[in-house]
Amino acid sequence: MTEKESAPKTYGIALESLSAAVMEKVVNIYQETVGETDSAKQYKDQLVFGIDDEINALSRNGFTERRLGSTLNSHSKLQIRRSRNNPSAFYFTFNPNLDPRERNDEEKRQAADNIKANFISKVSDYLQGSSMGVEL
């Protein structure tokens, strides 16, 4: 990146805009980019009951996560975190949660980094295109 180029803007969401519909879309993006898993499908099915647990955890701790698995392993997580740049906003990220024996495997780490970057980019694009996107 040159001095004139800047990193693409990343978008998150304000807590009051977070809804079951948003979470369902984010889980759809997760499944498209990270991999379809039974855990992700089950979580998506449970969203009809609301997202009170997520809202409470984000309000209290600024963080929540769901172990949804991935093509890398079954311990991967969807995480929502409070932004350091914009404390009124939250962003979605992917934690590959690689096995300690795999963390030194350059190919596995690169695959995890690529999946994470793709997921973050697609969620950011979705939020930017919606009326809910908050620049981080």
The residue type of 69 is: G
Rounded mean pLDDT, 55-81: 95
Strands of the sheet with 77-82, listed across from one edge: 63-67, 77-82, 89-95, 11-14, 133-135
Rounded mean pLDDT, 26-40: 95
Query: What is the tens place of the pLDDT at every residue in 84-115?
Result: 999 999 999 999 999 888 878 899 999 999 99
Q: Which of 35-44, 79-88, 102-111 has the lowest mean pLDDT?
A: 102-111
Rounded mean pLDDT, 58-81: 95
Q: Is the pLDDT of residue 82 over 90?
A: yes
93 close to 26: Cβ distance less than 8 angstroms = no
Q: Which one is predicted more confidently, 20 or 4?
A: 20
| pLDDT bracket for residue 1 (50, 70, 90) | very low
27 close to 38: Cβ distance less than 8 angstroms = no
Q: Is the pLDDT of residue 33 over 60?
A: yes
Q: Which one is predicted more confidently, 91 or 7?
A: 91
From 110, 59, 108, 62, select the one nearest 84 (Cα to Cα): 62
Q: Is the pLDDT of residue 56 over 60?
A: yes
